[in-house]
Amino acid sequence: MRLLVAQRVGEDASDLIMRKAGAAFDIDFLASADRESRKHLLENADVILAMNFRRDIFEEEVPFIKNAKPIQITLAGADMIPYAKLSPGIVICSNGGAYSEPIAEHAIGMMLALARSFLPLHHGLSRGEFDQSTKHKMLISSTLGIIGFGGIGKRVAELARAFGMTILAINSTGRTEHDVDFTGTLMDLDRVLRESDFVLLTIALNKDTRNLIRARELNSYQGDSAQGSGRCGRQHPAVC
């Protein structure tokens, strides 16, 4: 079987791929091939490994993919795949959950930065203004709405619990065994937005979820649920 590595990789990564998969596959690297060779490689690949599909494989090359059954994406999301241009029967495999730890830490950092007004206070301090009067929002006793309770959402919930936050989760079933205070589906989106101080969007981007949060969702809730954040509108829930 032929494995085509479409993702641009360095020497260390290519050596690792050869060591791990060389016994099972004949391995080719797309990035180093000329245009005519790229066509041949795509036509004869049984498995394709890519990261950013639209960057790794040119749009006009997509019809050349005929025999590959799985296309493995090393990113967690697969919304960049041109599904309509792919031949029927091709299986797309994403890397869901692979980035849960770094993204979860980033999300917590963003919430802390919003709640504690890090950026405006930093700008003030750079001007010589030492602001000791600004009131800050505390994460403890605040409510976090997590829209898309997969690998990233679950890890954020675990970290947020350490801050004493209430967790409202939305997934596809409305059920979870994880430690949350509420689990619902997208039918409960209005409730979660209304009751949340912070909202984390970790739901898969597809035709059903694109534009999920629009002006209506943000403007419907004029309460004081996000005082102190102020980066997404003075009184809107903070959307990280």
CATH code assigned at 51:
3.40.50.720
Q: Are 81 and 179 contained in the same domain? A: no
- Which of 93, 115, 146 marks a domain boundary? 93
Q: Are 142 and 71 contained in the same domain? A: no
Q: Name residue 134's amino acid.
A: T
Q: Are 125 and 83 contained in the same domain? A: no
Q: Are 69 and 110 contained in the same domain? A: no
Q: In terms of residue numbers, what domain contains 30?
A: 2-93
- What contacts 91, CB < 8 A, 6 or more positions away? 69, 70, 71
Q: Are 144 and 230 contained in the same domain? A: yes
Q: Are 186 and 212 contained in the same domain? A: yes
pLDDT at residue 230 in the model = 30
Q: Which two structure tokens, joined as six digits, stand for 88?
A: 């029927």
The whole model's pTM is what? Answer: 0.79
Number of domains in the chain: 2
Q: Are 135 and 66 contained in the same domain? A: no
Evaluate whether 208 touches 194 at the Cβ level (below 8 Å): no
Q: Name residue 42's amino acid.
A: L
Q: Are 109 and 198 contained in the same domain? A: yes
Q: Are 66 and 152 contained in the same domain? A: no
- Which of 60, 93, 126 marks a domain boundary? 93
- Which of 40, 69, 93 marks a domain boundary? 93
Evaluate whether 146 touches 200 at the Cβ level (below 8 Å): yes
Q: Are 107 and 223 contained in the same domain? A: yes
Q: Are 120 and 194 contained in the same domain? A: yes
pLDDT tens per residue, the chain (240 residues)? 999 999 999 999 999 999 999 999 999 999 999 988 999 999 999 999 999 898 999 999 999 998 898 999 998 888 888 988 998 889 999 998 889 999 999 999 999 998 888 888 888 889 998 888 888 889 999 999 999 999 999 999 999 999 999 999 999 999 999 999 999 999 999 999 989 999 999 998 888 888 888 888 877 654 343 322 233 333 344 444
Q: Are 229 and 193 contained in the same domain? A: yes
